[in-house]
Structure 1
Amino acid sequence: MLHLERPLVFLDLEATQADPQDARIIQVGMQRFVPVSDGARLADTLDLLVDPECEVPESVTQLTGLTTEAVRHAPPFDQRAGQIAPLIEDADLAGYNAIAYDLPLLRAEFDRINRSLPGPRDRVVLDPYRLEQALRPRTLSALYERYTSQSLDDAHDALRDAEATGTILQRQLAEHDLDGTPADLADLIRGDYLDDGRKLKRDGNRVVVCFGKHNGKTLRELRSNHPDYFDWMYRTIDELRPHIDDALGDS
């Protein structure tokens, strides 16, 4: 059971980009819980559309169902901030991947309107994504025990660890009813990323850079506006070269 010492707001933000510094919010969902003697009580709910004052990418529309037209007539963030602030100004926050995305995004939006993000200085941000990582360690021994219900004896013996890895992989395939070649499974692991290092990601018809000082820019933007950096990346990061050629080969 969760024991609240002050209000706790669960939040989720939908936005135009994956980079929280450049993204613009298009939807805000919040639930505010307050402490009561036997736990917590839902005190308020917020469900708002926000005009990002820019186009909503097709990839975001496919994910959220929200189009540019759907949010165009909603109030922009500077007009929504007055509805958001009272819910969070005295509260801790909770959200899935909120530490890496939702909180930086919300802070960036408040910065754009020359306001500080409301909230206590000792605010706690509870992220179930991070909590899951803490509760379910991903060491080889932990995975082996989870999938086999047995302890991994002789862990850190090279051959024993190799055998255990094979066992885990087979159990994963069976549990999730997966079938395919190693390349198929590697594609599943990468998702929208083009490379195993997760440096390039497909976003609709665009390919976005996911590292370094130009994180969030598309390859085309990088080539046009920062040619020296683009050339350095192309020349020195060998595993990205085929993906760059494929993404930009039509021009």
Structure 2
Amino acid sequence: MLTHSLKLRKPLAVIDLETTGVNVAKDKIVELCIAKAKLDGTVEVKTKLINPGIPIPLETSLIHGIYDEDVKDAPTFRQIGKALAQFIEGCDLAGFNSNRFDVPMLVEEFLRVDIDFDTKNRKLIDAQRIFHLMEPRTLSAAYKFFCNKTLENAHSAEVDTLATLEVLCSQVEKYEGVKLKNDKGEEYEPVKNDMDVLHLLTSANIVDFAQRMTLNNKGEVVFNFGKHNGKPVKQILKNEPQYYDWMINGDFPLDTKRKLTEIKLKMMLDK
């Protein structure tokens, strides 16, 4: 039986996806693995091939080894979406580069099939952010460094997922109690066996998963791209209401549009 050493307040779902590409707004999941670390120290693993409903580009198949033929009889995300949402109900979410890719892609797939999968009450733990802060490298190097093992069959969802969980456990064991200095020369301890602390370390500034918006040093939501880069979202929506329409009708992920709409609705309620 698989086990873990993390101190959890709620189950932690470690996720890895293989997809048709890296465009969250357009690409689809072709394989998914979730290792659910439970409060009793056990781990439950689910791995599924998924028919994306679109061709898998050859250059992508050559990376993860999944071809159209492999998924032609697999269920679609719409067919498994509800069961998947139930499996990770009440779970915090983790992965390797998960805040930039796996979680945004998963949220987008849920929204496409009308499942309002919300992350507001979930802690988001990105093992890559911890690794890059402490030992900047890749997942294979992280696995070698922290676990002293060679990662065989990288880019297999299950292999990468279980390696990520093992790396996260080892990171916590290695770095808990290790102090760094901030830009003021003050010592602080960034890594603790506490999902709240790891969430703040790896996910504190996330507004939308595509990171078209972020938080500035004043805690304001600002745009993170284009001509209004760095400007407060509320200010732009107030002064240029057509910018909201442009984004809503543009080629942006559904999650970005949802978060932008939430900000606009809150502005209207605050009037």
Q: Residue 253 of structure 2 aligns with which residue?
A: none
- Aligned-pair CA distance for 1:12: 0.4
> Which digits, 9 at most, give the CA deviation of each residue in 1:111-156, with x for residues without a partner?
111111155x321111111111222479xxxxxxxxxxxxxxxxxx
Q: Residue 36 of structure 2 aligns with which residue?
A: 32
Match of 2:23 among 19, 24, 36: 19
Amino acid at match of 1:41: T
Matched, 1:41 2:9: no
Segments of 4+ in structure 1 off by > 4 A? none
- Aligned-pair CA distance for 1:95: 0.5
Identity, in percent, stands at 30
Q: Residue 11 of structure 2 aligns with which residue?
A: 7
- Partner Cα distance (1:60, 1:80) in 2: 23
Q: Residue 131 of structure 2 aligns with which residue?
A: 132
Matched, 1:100 2:106: no
> Which digits, 9 at most, give the CA deviation of each residue in 1:52-81, with x for residues without a partner?
001011011111111111101111100011
- Partner Cα distance (1:137, 1:32) in 2: 26
Larger Rg: 1
Determine which structure has greater relative contact order: mean sequence separation of CA pairs < 8 Å that are 6+ residues apart, divided by chain length. 2
CA contact (8 A) 1:85 1:118 kept: no
Q: Residue 64 of structure 1 aligns with which residue?
A: 64
Give unmatched runs, 5+ long, in structure 1. 139-210, 214-251
- Partner Cα distance (1:133, 1:63) in 2: 23
Q: TM-score, normalised by structure 2?
A: 0.47
- Aligned-pair CA distance for 1:41: 1.4
Q: Residue 111 of structure 1 aligns with which residue?
A: 111
Secondary structure of 1:93 counterpart: strand
Count, aligned residues: 136
Give unmatched runs, 5+ long, in structure 2. 138-224, 228-271
Q: TM-score, normalised by structure 1?
A: 0.51
For 1:155-166, list aligned pairs within 5 A.
Answer: none
- Partner Cα distance (2:32, 2:101) in 1: 13
CA contact (8 A) 1:20 1:102 kept: no
- Partner Cα distance (2:89, 2:106) in 1: 13
